[in-house]
Amino acid sequence: MLDISSRVRVHVETLPATQNDMGVCDAFEQYAPAGKPDAMNAPHPPKVAGIDSTVPAPAHTVAPATGTTPSAAAHPQNAPGALLQDRLAGWVSDLTTLHELTERLVRAGTLDAALDELLRAGAALVGARRGLVALEPADGRGPSTTVGLGLGRADLGHMETVPRGALPHGRILDGLPGGDDGVAEPDLFAEKGLDPRHREVAARLGYAASYALPLATGTGTGTAGRLGAVVWLYDEPAEPVERQRHLVGLYVRHAAEHLARLLELEHTRASMATMTEELLPSRLPRVAGVQLAARHRTCPSGGGDWYDALPLPDAALGLAVGSVTGSGPSAVAAMGRLRASLRAYAVMEGEDPVAVLSDLELLLRLTEPARSATALFGYCEPAVRRITLAGAGHSPPLLLGERRTEFVETSVSAPLGMLACWEAPSVEVQAEAGDTVLLYTDGLLHRTGDPTDRAFARLHAAAAGVPRALRRDPGAVADHVLRAVLPEGAEDADTSEDVVLLAARFD
């Protein structure tokens, strides 16, 4: 029985896939070094290509295929088994390293993080120090970007001045012959046909060799499924050995599949954000006596929060915020339908906010009985600085003035669609000159991660802490409140909560 350490973990999917790619016997021949162990079996330095790798170095080295040891000469019947065992141990060790690198890649949940991990892990596998990945999906949907490892913006700019066809990754991106299996340039300055500009840039940046691979999904050739190309740069003439090429090829294949999923997620998020923004006001109305500002943060999956501000007869103004349960395309579509309906009801009977929400509740109950929503509608009269409010399961507005910061007490009521018939009394808010009323959705509170009472306290403290110099601008007030309420990174967090903040300042 082969004595292989039990701590070596082999991925149950990676191992059969690699066996199919190589064959076990082929793998033994593939990994047998000529003369001396290659770089993949040498002890890893503590830092490779600027990486503090947490991946353990292979625990076994492959014995030379030629020559015999004294023990092997004394016991010739044991030599083939020992050699086979050592080669198998080295093969399993490489697969373990590959598995751990792919696990680290999968933990990169954003496109930028995945590209950075691809460059760093690939540099460690091929023994390079620098590199770049050019993302240029063949379907044209984007995004198109270039990310460097050990290369600054100026360095990437210099490389962009080289004719595209003269660069190895440029040939891959253009689908030129010979790029599907990678492009190796072991000694740039020894090549007679090297483009003069490429020679000049390579000398300026200090690299003398490169190894490039395509980033593509599937097994086909050509541009179908191509996402881009990745290239690693060597400071001295060098070239990855066959074993390194095979391992980095397997890794890049896994990386391309992961990048394709992240790209699709980016496309979905962009589409949802665009659809949500199109369903919300493209601009806020200008009404004498009041200044308006709105801030909207869409969750990645698309949420159902909305806001609205529409001019009404008699120089009045309708203000509304609301939220539909759920997330995704169905919630966004429902949000659009409810917002459009509320606008119609507001035009017809906006001076009675209770009637507006009652009509909206009836529509929701009849047309979408499985869905509920919260809403807050205010009939604003800027000339007398008065707002008449009605709320359905919604958080109370916040009034920010020169001498007060307080929540407006609204009646406690159920969300729309929760009761057989909704109705609740309205309340009036009498503002003063310079006062700002903040209307918001529950997502602002939920994204804090705090219990409800602490989230309300955080919001109150943020509003009270708005500097005096900013209070004349409702947009500046809204921005300050968002920065103070949401913890660092909460605006970009992967959450199902939208955030809506509508600010109205009375002159």
| Peptide bond connecting 143 to the previous residue in cis, omega within 30 degrees of 0 | yes
Q: E-assigned strands of 298-397?
A: 303-312, 316-327, 373-381, 386-392
* pLDDT tens sequence across 312-321: 998 999 999 9
Structural domains of the chain, with CATH: 1-107 (no CATH), 110-271 (3.30.450.40), 280-506 (3.60.40.10)
Contacting residues for 22 by C-beta, under 8 A, at least 6 apart: 30, 246
Q: Give the span between the Cα atoms of 435 and 433, in whole angstroms.
A: 6
* pLDDT tens sequence across 268-308: 777 777 777 777 887 899 989 999 999 988 776 667 889 99
426-444 core/surface letters (b: 16 or more CB in 10 A; e: else): bbebebeeebbbbbbbbbb
18-36 core/surface letters (b: 16 or more CB in 10 A; e: else): beeebeeeebbeebbbeee
- 372 conformational bin, left if phi > 0, alpha if psi -120 to 50, beta if neither: beta
Contacting residues for 42 by C-beta, under 8 A, at least 6 apart: none
Q: Would you call 126 helix, strand, or coil by DSSP?
A: helix
Residue 150 vs residues 166, 204, 240: alpha-carbon distances, Å: 21, 14, 19
Amino acid at 279: L
Q: What is the pTM of this model?
A: 0.60
Q: Which residues of the chain have pLDDT under 70?
A: 1-80, 178-179, 219-224, 300-302, 412, 419-422, 488-496
Residue bearing tokens 């399961």: 393
Minimal CA–CA distance to 388: which of 422, 356, 433? 356
Report pLDDT for 209.
Answer: 95
Amino acid at 24: V
Q: Give the span between the Cα atoms of 255 and 102, in whole angstroms.
A: 7
* CA pseudo-torsion sign 85, 88, 94, 100: negative
Residue 342 tokens read as: 């509320």
Tell me whether strands 303-312 and 145-149 are parallel, antiparallel or unpaired: unpaired
